[in-house]
Amino acid sequence: MAGYVNTIKDFKTKENPEFLAKVKELQPILHHKNLSPVNRIELKKTEDNSWLIHGRKGYMPEKKLVLQKDTPLCLEFPNHQVGYIRFFLDVVGSPLDAPVHLRIKLGEIVEELGEDTKDYHGWLSSSWLQEEYLHVDVVPGWVELPRRYAFRYLSLEILNQSLKYQIGITNITGKTVTSAEEEAVEELPADADPFIKEMDAAAVRTLRDCMQLVFEDGPKRDRRLWIGDLRLQALVNYYTFRNMELVKRCIYMFAGITGADGRVGACFYIEPKLQVDDTVLFDYSLFFISCLYDYYEVTKDKEFIAELWPTALRQIELSKERLGFGGILKDSGDWWCFLDWGDNLNKQAGAQGVFIYTVKQAIGLAKIVEDEKALEMLEELCRQLTSSALSRLWDGQQQVFVSGEMRQVSVVSQVWMLLAGILEDGAANKLIDRLLAGEIQLPLSTPYMYHYFVEALFQYGRREEAVKVMKEYWGGMLEKGADTFWELYNPADDDFSPYGSKVINSYCHAWSCTPSYFIRKYHLK
Amino acid sequence: MAGYVNTIKDFKTKENPEFLAKVKELQPILHHKNLSPVNRIELKKTEDNSWLIHGRKGYMPEKKLVLQKDTPLCLEFPNHQVGYIRFFLDVVGSPLDAPVHLRIKLGEIVEELGEDTKDYHGWLSSSWLQEEYLHVDVVPGWVELPRRYAFRYLSLEILNQSLKYQIGITNITGKTVTSAEEEAVEELPADADPFIKEMDAAAVRTLRDCMQLVFEDGPKRDRRLWIGDLRLQALVNYYTFRNMELVKRCIYMFAGITGADGRVGACFYIEPKLQVDDTVLFDYSLFFISCLYDYYEVTKDKEFIAELWPTALRQIELSKERLGFGGILKDSGDWWCFLDWGDNLNKQAGAQGVFIYTVKQAIGLAKIVEDEKALEMLEELCRQLTSSALSRLWDGQQQVFVSGEMRQVSVVSQVWMLLAGILEDGAANKLIDRLLAGEIQLPLSTPYMYHYFVEALFQYGRREEAVKVMKEYWGGMLEKGADTFWELYNPADDDFSPYGSKVINSYCHAWSCTPSYFIRKYHLK
């Protein structure tokens, strides 16, 4: 996810000190590895204004490379990493009689090295671009870059130095950081399809690089916990790293600081202090229930569910307040619900789908904690929501769900209604056929929604088609050179960005890591 | 001083471990003070492309100022300082959902804030310009700038941030650093001329800001020990801070690592390790003798002189090797001797003057250490150098000293020959009259040479004229707003820089701090 959606003015919060104490107890250990670039690379701008790696030469850390002013040294790491960068600078010639002024860029894709930052005009802040200007006063010596970066590529350029010396560089080193334990991930069966293996490796790497002190959405951009991403990361984590404590920690965060009315926020910060963002989204608040539900499915930890149940139930109560005439959620023109990127997407039907989907999960939780009163309310609510959806949002003539006053038809609405499970199997499968045939307008925008589409296919037993979609969509990223999965991917438009520039997109993004969940849960080969 | 002069290829050195051990023992304690800016200022570009302070408003550290994108906040400190900068950033509005990207500039003069670094095209490296680009990931929080700066002015500018928040800033603080003890400086008599007091204060401040782990030449640019500057700083120090140990430390450095032949280098580095530069200058090597001589005059420390005497004597022996036909120093087109900035300045006569001047000081030292053999050699050398200078460099017809094959007449040559004391008083005073009347071409370029001119005036009892020159020259800087004395000042050209740009000049420069020496030694009022 990324921000700027439905910011609440004068947002008031309330805290649960017990939950926040748990958050601190569950702080994960961070693991580090040192690694070197594998290649020096040359970049070339193509005719369609993208950038290619034009040539590669092996990089040997001990071999001193002499940096030339205004000539970037570009390097490639073995794959996408999150962490810190250091290198050793040496003087060639006279002693350092003036500082070295360096520009360093880090990129998840080569475009981030090639493009000039001055040419960036996207609407997300350029402060996300990983570019540093550094003065080095003492050489020889180690230089450590000041921040944490997400990188597969690195460029170093001398902007100025004195005429008396030249600068040699050795031992360019990345120190990686993650709270994921790579050893915990089981290998896929030896006979698995190599493409499936590659997809799984990229998905696992994506999750690894997003697993820090929380499940971050993107280690390059946003670098924080969003509940929509958390839900998907947790699912993949259960089948890979199995770091249950990190999931608990994140759930405690969202329950530990909520809106004053008890609403779970959409996103959470941990620095300089634990703090919920003032962004509230209808679907994201409800996904708190999904997080709990999934966690129980894997751990059967009743005590934890009981502890968090009041927070979960509160999300249902608050969501009910948005119900309008005839049991349908009120629509509005603001960013009240996320669902997917897309300026024109109407959220009403999709939100209704999410509501039914999570009410059903809440029913499951109510049974676990044996909350009879809530169970009764939830079952009644589920019946009402379902019946309203079928009577008011299902267009019998077109045989699709429609959304909003303008009765918009979108893939997002269909997918969430399918996941809500309110159609009979026959009708559902016919709708799926039409989705697969591309007959429904307003396609999906993000890997996040593609996840839910694939989930729906599995839910209705459409395993083969699910694998096909995965191979086309996530496989498409691999074919374009990805080694972690991207925040955004439009097979029809390589330059797609909702932010106005490709270089600000995140190329290792949590909500895109779910192929490993499908591969491992459904034993895909 | 500044570099790029007479670099020796494959410079070999030798070390004296005992002296280097003393260097470590004598490491000074650094003193710190916190101070706040006094004013927010507005800058305005004038018609002649310089910058002025257009408006001032008081700065209150606790009052939160909200930074506006692309609108620099400019601040003025009470006076020139050397040290570190920190400030506290706070979020106004939503939490920090994207890093803050800041540009910070520090200036000794307002031009350094006003001018765009991109427009700098001087030949000294732009890496000296005090400009930082910083990403701040965590706000609220303190931000500390990464380096040590020399500053009187500071600007802070937000280059980018997200749309969701604004940044407030409080407690902008400078933490000063110096090895000078300000309390050690005696106040001038209460009845002293206010202009003399002001000149003294600026000179003391200049020296204070250059006194760090060594006597630096400029705390903004060069930031290292040059022996020509050391000699003048030590003189001022004897009459102000009286930090004798720092002088000893610097003398031990130059004696601790010399060229393989024993020649004292022109400049010295202390980081990452003690290291003499590969720059050698005829006059600068000889000033090692002056440093010892001056030190003895003040301390009467015979033991120290005896310890360093072999190094001092070695400079004479090496300098003798440059003597050519008729006992005159060989001239050459390279930067073999510094004397003063000026591309056209011929160094032969000035160097001969420096040689005689320092041989006379060496004679004084030989007597102290009772080195009869050396004394005999030095006295003979002094006679030869003097007689050669008078017979070959004195132009009886023009009544001036001439230099080089083209018999160049310059103020520098006259001043050094005056300091060498080889003319009779009558002839010397006539020459001084002509110098004061501006009759000699090729004027002085730097405060460094102005020092020696004033010293010559005092030497020949021209006290009133000396004070007049000081008031005109150093006083001229004060009138132009200086509160520390500059590396370069040409009363006729405000934009004078030997480096191609005014902003790279140093505005607190050691060799310019000698007014306090004159004021205090000669009890000027």
| A405-460 tens-digit pLDDT | 999 999 999 999 999 999 999 999 999 999 999 999 999 999 999 999 999 999 99
What are the tens digits of pLDDT across the range A355-364?
Answer: 999 999 999 9
Q: Tens digits of per-residue pLDDT, A148-198?
A: 999 999 999 999 999 899 999 999 999 999 999 999 999 999 999 999 999
Residue A8's pLDDT is 77
Q: Tell whether A39 is within 8 A of chain B (Cβ).
A: no
Closest CA to B487 of B249, B121, B284, B209: B209
Of B178, B204, B237, which marks where a domain is finished? Answer: B178
Burial group, residue A211, by CB count within 10 angstroms (0-12, 13-18, 19+): buried
Q: Are A407 and A423 contained in the same domain?
A: yes
Distance (Å) from the C-alpha of residue A178 to the closest C-alpha of chain B? 18
| Boundary of a domain, candidates B178, B193, B226 | B178
Residue A8 forms part of a structural domain: no
- The pLDDT score that the predictor gives to residue B48 is 87
In a shared domain, residues A224 and A135: no
* pLDDT band with cut points at 50, 70 and 90 for residue B6: low
State how far residue B126 is from chain A, nearest Cα, in angstroms. Answer: 6
Whether B399 has its CB under 8 Å from any CB of chain A: the answer is: no
* pLDDT per position as a tens digit, A266-291: 999 999 999 999 999 999 999 999 99
Residue in chain B nearest A162 by alpha carbon = B125
Interchain CB distance below 8 Å, A146 and B135: yes
B357, B416 Cβ separation under 8 angstroms: yes
Q: Does B26 share its domain with B87?
A: no
pLDDT class of A223 with cuts at 50, 70, 90: very high
B7 DSSP 8-state letter: B
CB A147 to CB B138 under 8 A? no
Distance CA(A441)–CA(A460), nearest Å, equals: 21
> Residue B269: its chain A contacts at CB < 8 A?
95-96
Å between A164 CA and nearest CA of chain B: 7
CB nearest to B125's CB, from A94, A137, A160: A160
Give the rounded distance of the alpha carbon of A454 from its chain centre: 17
* Distance in angstroms between the alpha carbons of the first and the last residue of chain A: 30
Instruction: Please check whether residues B446 and B386 belong to one and the same domain.
Output: yes
pLDDT at A489 over 70: yes
Q: Are A514 and A236 in contact (CB under 8 A)?
A: yes
Is residue B4 situated within a structural domain? no
Question: Peptide bond preceding B140: is omega within 30 degrees of 0, i.e. cis?
Answer: yes
Helix (H) or strand (E) holding B78: strand B73-93
Collect all residues of chain A within an 8 Å Cβ-Cβ radius of residue B7: 94, 164
| Residue B254 lies inside a defined structural domain of this protein | yes
Residues A332 and A210 in one domain: yes
Q: Which of B126, B140, B224 sits opposite A160 (nearest CB)?
A: B126
pTM assigned to the model: 0.95
Q: Which of B94, B106, B136 to mutate to test the interface with A (most CBs of A within 10 A)?
A: B94
Please give the pLDDT value at position B494: 87
On the 0-12 / 13-18 / 19+ scale of CB atoms within 10 A, B147 is middle
User: Please, what is the average pLDDT of chain B?
Assistant: 96
* Rounded distance between C-alpha atoms, residue B417 and residue B398, angstroms: 15
Chain A residues 245-274 with a CB less than 8 Å from chain B: 269, 271-272
Residue among A98, A132, A146 minimizing CB distance to B128: A98
Tell me which residue of A397, A423, A409, A403 sits closest to A352, measured CA to CA.
A403
Contacts of A259 in chain B (CB under 8 A): none
> Over the Cα atoms of chain A, what is R_g?
25
Q: How far is CA A395 from CA A390, A405, A408, A417, A418, in A?
A: 8, 13, 11, 13, 14
Within 8 A of A272 by CB-CB distance, chain B residues are 138-141
Spell out which residues of chain A touch residue B4, defining contact as CB-CB under 8 Å: 162-164
pLDDT of A397 > 60? The answer is yes
The answer to whether residue B272 is domain-embedded is yes
Task: Examine the domain organization and report whether B409 and B323 are in the same domain.
Answer: yes
Residue B139 touches partner A, C-beta closer than 8 Å: yes
Task: Using the predicted structure, report yes or no on whether residue A343 has a pLDDT greater than 80.
Answer: yes
pLDDT of residue B58: 98
pLDDT class of A1 with cuts at 50, 70, 90:
low
The residues with which B215 forms a beta bridge, in sequence order, are B211
B3 pLDDT higher than 80: no
| Residue A22 contacts B where some CB pair is shorter than 8 Å | no
> Is ipTM > 0.90 here?
yes
Q: Which structure tokens are listed for A224?
A: 């924080």
The band of A10, judged by pLDDT with boundaries at 50, 70 and 90, is confident
Please give the pLDDT value at position A409: 98
Q: Specify the pLDDT at position B1.
A: 57
Closest alpha carbon to A114 in A174, A150, A165, A157 = A157
> Measured between CB atoms, does B121 come within 8 Å of chain A?
no
**pLDDT over threshold 60, residue A2:** no
Q: Is residue A186 part of a domain?
A: no
Say how many domains are in chain B: 2
DSSP 8-state code for residue B29:
P
Cβ neighbours of A146 in B, within 8 Å: 134-135, 146
Question: CA-based angle B414:B417:B423, to the nearest 5?
Answer: 105
Q: Is the peptide bond before A140 cis (omega within 30 degrees of 0)?
A: yes
Per-residue confidence (pLDDT) for residue B469, from 0 to 100: 98
Q: Does B95 touch chain A (CB under 8 A)?
A: yes
CB contact set of A514 (below 8 Å; sequence gap of 6+): A203, A232, A235, A236, A447, A451, A454
In angstroms, what separates the C-alpha of B160 from chain A's closest C-alpha?
A: 6
Q: Does A26 lie in the same domain as A62?
A: no
Which residue blocks in B13-165 are alpha helix, DSSP H? 17-25, 111-114
A315 and A215: one domain?
Answer: yes
Q: Which of A178, A199, A221 is the last residue of a domain?
A: A178
Give whole-number Cα distances, A336 to A225, A411, B282, in Å.
19, 19, 78
pLDDT in tens, A99-144: 999 999 999 999 999 999 999 999 999 999 999 999 999 999 999 9
The larger pLDDT score, comparing residue A11 to residue A433, is at: A433
Residues of B in contact with A223 (CB under 8 A): 137
Q: How far apart are CA B77 and CA B151, in angstroms?
A: 8
Confidence of residue B487 (pLDDT cuts 50, 70, 90): very high
Q: CA B181 to CA B289: how far, in whole Å?
A: 27
pLDDT tens, position by position, A314-336? 999 999 999 998 999 999 999 99
b/e A108-120 (16+ beta carbons within 10 angstroms → b): bbbbbbbbeeeeb
Which chain B residues contact residue A265 at CB under 8 A? none
Strand partners, A143: A87
Residue A4: pLDDT above 70?
Answer: no
- Mean pLDDT of chain A, nearest integer: 96
CA nearest neighbour of B215 among B233, B242, B202, B235 = B233
B395 and B515 housed in the same domain:
yes
Q: What is the pLDDT of residue A155?
A: 98
On chain A, the residues whose CB falls within 8 A of the CB of B127 are 98-101, 135, 159-162
Render pLDDT for B427-476 as a digit per residue (tens, 0 to 9): 999 999 999 999 999 999 999 999 999 999 999 999 999 999 999 999 99
In a domain, B3, yes or no: no
Is residue A3 scored above 80 in pLDDT? no
Same domain, B167 and B246: no
- Report how far residue B212's alpha carbon sits from residue B199's, in angstroms, rounded to the nearest whole number: 22
> Which range has the worst mean pLDDT, A332-346, A355-369, B236-250?
A332-346
Instruction: Please give the pLDDT value at position B118.
Output: 92
Reference B291, options B259, B263, B252, B329; nearest CA is B252
Residue A53's domain is classified under what CATH number?
2.60.120.260
Residue among A102, A127, A129 with most chain B CBs within 10 A, to mutate: A127
Q: Is the peptide bond before A28 cis (omega within 30 degrees of 0)?
A: no
Q: How confident is the model at residue A49 (pLDDT cuts 50, 70, 90)?
A: confident
Please indicate, yes or no, whether residues A169 and A198 belong to a single structural domain of this protein.
no
The band of A494, judged by pLDDT with boundaries at 50, 70 and 90, is: confident
Q: H/E/C letters for each residue in B282-327?
A: HHHHHHHHHHHHHHHHHHCCHHHHHHHHHHHHHHHHHHHCCECHHH
Give contacts of B3 with chain A, Cβ < 8 Å: 97-98, 162, 164
As separate numbers, helices (DSSP H) first and strands (DSSP E) second, chain A gives 14, 17
Reading the block at residue A359, the tokens are 């009410």
| Residue B2, pLDDT score | 56
Hey, is B511 helix, strand or coil? helix
Given this model, what pLDDT does residue A48 score? 87
Whether B146 is covered by a domain: the verdict is yes
pLDDT category at B52 given cuts 50, 70, 90 is very high
Q: Give the minimum alpha-carbon distance from B159 to chain A in angstroms, rounded to a whole number.
A: 8
Query: Which amino acid appears at position B186 of this protein?
Result: E
* Same domain for A502 and A423: yes
Query: Within a domain: residue B443?
Result: yes
Angstrom distance (rounded) from CA B190 to CA B197: 9
Give B155's strand partners: B74, B105
> In which domain, by residue range, is A165 found?
31-178
Q: What is the CATH number of the domain that holds A311?
A: 1.50.10.10
Question: How does DSSP classify residue A140?
Answer: S
Tens-place pLDDT, residues B140-168: 999 999 999 999 999 999 999 998 999 99
pLDDT at position A348 is 98
How confident is the model over B328-341, as a mean pLDDT?
95
Token duo for residue B123: 């030949």
B4 interface with A at CB cutoff 8 Å: yes
